[in-house]
């Protein structure tokens, strides 16, 4: 082998080792032994909880403050003076609409739609004043007129929903002992089911859970022992629930890794291509239909559901339907226990006990109902520090008193302004009241916040000084090792 060939091979080996040394240097420079470290670059931020994303696009999403507010009546609620005046104005509008149309003319489609909307308003007003039978007759007549005009589908939604609600509210109490009232209750349930069929996304899902409630109570009228076994959404009352071991997410740790790193970031960035609402909502705690519910209760509600769905339904029924109800309060208590909201749960049980006379006619059933609520409260109180426990009842009473006083003042204000001749349709009707009393709704607190880390795995560029250093060292070692002896 000639000297020239040997020198060429030596140069080639030195070059190869120099390249290998450069690669080693790049690796060392990227792993943090020298220069910036590769890995997860994180930022601390506030992210939405899974139940903050509505089930349907554009729908209402839940905040725990909303539950707190219905339990303490912290929301505006119209009084009798308001509905009496609105009924008067609606009747006048209906009469005026008739006089505008000559006997030989057919009302326009727009005129019919306006008339049907006014009939809904009048029916609700009559029902709010306790005139259930009159409201039912009015809505039955409206339905006949709509069917005569060939209206179908979603155009019948408000008729189905209102007529079903009026039949339920007007017959619920009597249905426990009166077979005829029970049949009208079943008829009301049928209309509610039709309203769900034509418009399942309406009113927070209120009609869905209104139907579940009626299905449960119809079964309980035949088997009262179910009232000691379940609330109306199927939470087991005998189930042990430790409020100190639950969380507001079905899989808090998993959602923290998955949701905060992917869908929550995409949601906050408004990136609909990367955000998957169904996958995001899959981390919500599931509640209801527990322990034999399917075999015990004749209901379309068969499987556990995300807790925000019945909660929003109860809020809708409480605020927009029949108002406070011990069965609603009990269900809110059971749901809030299962998602770790101890203070709201305690308040729900307290409110349920306050309404115990309306729970069921049987005194023994009511006694066991109260005992269950007190036992749940005791479990919550056991988890609380002494200073918070001492403040629990005074705070509940103060909040409830604030809500009642607000609603009373609101209704007195309405009556006063109506007597003074101000129109309830005036957009400034409540301006003076709002200025004097301020907002009543509670702002979301820490329970509706989730702080987590978000970011991406980042590989920094190689450290060029490190690359050159190791390349030179390897080349020097190779040259020294292969030097001629």
Residue 41 has pLDDT above 50, yes or no: no
Per DSSP, 36 falls in state S
User: What are the structural domains of the chain?
Assistant: 3-38+459-481 (no CATH), 49-76+219-457 (no CATH), 80-200 (1.25.40)
CA 410/CA 397 separation, integer angstroms: 20
pLDDT at site 249: 45
* Whether the Cβ atoms of residue 352 and residue 372 lie closer than 8 Å to each other: no
Tokens linked to 260: 């905060």
Evaluate the CA torsion angle 471, 476, 477, 483 in order and state its sign: positive
DSSP bridge pairs for 456:
41
CA 157/CA 143 separation, integer angstroms: 10
What 3-state DSSP class applies to 99? helix
* Whether the Cβ atoms of residue 392 and residue 346 lie closer than 8 Å to each other: yes
Residue with tokens 């308040």: 347
Q: Which of 5-14, 45-54, 105-114, 330-339 shows the lowest per-residue confidence on average (mean pLDDT)?
A: 5-14
162-189 confidence digits (pLDDT tens): 999 999 999 998 998 899 999 999 999 9
Average per-residue pLDDT for the chain? 84
pLDDT at site 316: 92
CA 280/CA 251 separation, integer angstroms: 11
Quick one: pLDDT band at residue 247, thresholds 50, 70, 90?
Answer: very low
- The burial of 355, by beta-carbon neighbours within 10 Å (0-12 exposed, 13-18 middle, 19 or more buried), is given as middle
50-92 confidence digits (pLDDT tens): 899 888 888 889 999 999 999 999 999 999 999 999 999 999 9
Residue 36 has pLDDT above 50, yes or no: no
Q: Give the residue from 117, 97, 120 showing the smallest Cα distance to 107.
A: 97
Q: Which parts of 201-339 are beta strand (E)?
A: 286-287, 305-306
- Please report, rounded to a whole number, the percentage of residues in the chain having pLDDT higher than 90: 61
Residue with tokens 């009642």: 404
Between the alpha carbon of residue 229 and those of residues 226, 250, 295, the distances in Å are 5, 24, 13
Q: Give the residue from 47, 51, 45, 44 showing the smallest Cα distance to 341.
A: 51
Quick one: pLDDT band at residue 460, thresholds 50, 70, 90?
Answer: low
Q: Give the residue from 132, 233, 149, 141 showing the smallest Cα distance to 184.
A: 132
Evaluate the CA torsion angle 15, 16, 22, 25 in order and state its sign: negative
- Angle among Cα 410, 415, 419 to the nearest 5 degrees reads 145
Half-sphere exposure of 413 (CA within 13 A, CB side): 19
Residue 409 has pLDDT above 90, yes or no: yes
């Amino acid at each position: 082998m000639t000297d020239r060939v040997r020198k060429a091979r030596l140069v080639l080996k030195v070059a190869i080792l120099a390249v290998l040394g450069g690669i080693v240097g790049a690796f060392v420079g990227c792993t943090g032994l020298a220069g910036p470290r590769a890995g997860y670059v994180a930022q601390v931020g506030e992210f939405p909880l899974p139940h903050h994303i509505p089930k349907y696009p554009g729908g209402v999403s839940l905040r725990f403050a909303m539950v707190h507010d219905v339990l303490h009546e912290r929301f505006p609620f119209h009084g009798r003076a308001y509905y009496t005046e609105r009924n008067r104005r609606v009747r006048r509008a209906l009469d005026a609409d008739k006089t505008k149309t000559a006997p030989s003319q057919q009302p326009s489609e727009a005129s019919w739609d306006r008339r049907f909307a006014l009939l809904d308003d009048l029916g609700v007003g009559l029902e709010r004043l306790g005139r259930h039978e009159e409201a039912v007759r009015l809505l039955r007549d409206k339905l006949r007129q709509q069917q005569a005009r060939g209206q179908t589908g979603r155009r019948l939604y408000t008729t189905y929903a209102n007529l079903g609600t009026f039949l339920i509210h007007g017959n619920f109490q009597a249905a426990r002992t009166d077979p005829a009232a029970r049949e009208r209750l079943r008829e009301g349930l049928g209309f509610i089911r039709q309203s769900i069929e034509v418009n399942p996304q309406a009113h927070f899902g209120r009609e869905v859970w209104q139907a579940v409630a009626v299905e449960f109570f119809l079964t309980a009228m035949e088997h009262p022992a179910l009232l000691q076994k379940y609330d109306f959404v199927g939470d087991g009352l005998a189930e042990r629930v430790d409020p100190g071991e639950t969380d507001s997410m079905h899989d808090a740790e998993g959602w923290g890794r998955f949701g905060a790193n992917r869908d929550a970031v995409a949601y906050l960035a408004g990136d609909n291509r990367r955000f998957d609402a169904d996958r995001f909502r899959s981390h919500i705690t599931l509640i209801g239909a527990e322990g034999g519910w399917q075999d015990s209760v004749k209901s379309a509600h068969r499987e556990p559901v995300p807790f925000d769905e019945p909660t929003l339904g109860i809020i809708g029924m409480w605020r927009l339907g029949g108002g406070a109800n011990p069965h609603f309060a009990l269900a809110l208590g059971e749901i809030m226990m299962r998602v770790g909201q101890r203070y709201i749960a305690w308040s729900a049980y307290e409110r349920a006990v306050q309404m115990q006379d309306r729970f069921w006619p049987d005194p023994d059933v009511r006694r066991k109902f109260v005992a269950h609520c007190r036992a749940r409260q005791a479990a919550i109180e056991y988890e609380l520090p002494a200073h918070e426990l001492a403040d629990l009842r005074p705070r509940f009473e103060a909040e409830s008193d604030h809500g009642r006083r607000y609603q009373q003042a609101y209704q007195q204000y309405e009556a006063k302004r109506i007597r003074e001749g101000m129109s309830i349709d005036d957009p400034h009707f409540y301006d003076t009241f709002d200025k004097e009393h301020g907002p009543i709704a509670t702002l979301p607190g820490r329970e509706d916040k989730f702080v987590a880390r978000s970011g991406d795995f980042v590989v920094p560029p190689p450290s060029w000084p490190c690359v050159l250093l190791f390349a030179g060292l390897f080349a020097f070692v190779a040259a020294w090792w292969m030097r001629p002896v």
